[in-house]
Amino acid sequence: MNHPDLEMASVVRRLHALRAELLEQSDASRDARDTVMLDQTSVGRLSRMDALQGQAMAKAEEERRQLALRRITSALERIDRGEYGECIACGDWIAARRLEQDPLVLKCIDCAE
């Protein structure tokens, strides 16, 4: 049984909206993650370093987005199994307010500490 204090249809809509937003951000930042190609004869060393740093930051952000997408998929699977809202450590219900703040949370506050 999913969390008794939450409306699952609302949670599912929120998770799908979050997924769509992350996918849109991923598409928008695709160019920033591409290989940095700079002509060393016309671009200075600092400009190359800035471009490489920007690329590294874009790649790190993409890794965070991909992790969030996996967590969304996991949350939707827990909903399908009727396990959404149960702490994965102790099995108690996670506080509804905690899930409303972060629908991807896996542990109750006691187990998270």
pLDDT of residue 29: 80
For residues 8 and 65, what is the distance between their CA atoms, to the nearest angstrom?
23
6-21: average pLDDT: 96
Half-sphere exposure of 26 (CA within 13 A, CB side): 14
pLDDT of residue 36: 55
Taking the model in full, what pTM does it have? 0.80
67-82 pLDDT, tens digit each: 999 999 999 999 999 9
Q: Angle between the 45-81 and 8-28 helix axes, to the nearest 10 degrees?
A: 160
Place of tokens 């930042």: 29
Contact 1, 82 (CB under 8 A): yes
15-65 pLDDT, tens digit each: 999 999 999 999 888 776 566 555 555 556 667 777 778 888 888 999 999
Does 5 have pLDDT greater than 70? yes
How many angstroms separate the Cα of 95 from the Cα of each of 31, 66, 67, 88?
40, 26, 23, 13
pLDDT of residue 51: 75
Domain range annotation of the chain = 8-84
Residue 106 or residue 59, greater confidence: 106
Place of tokens 């998270």: 112
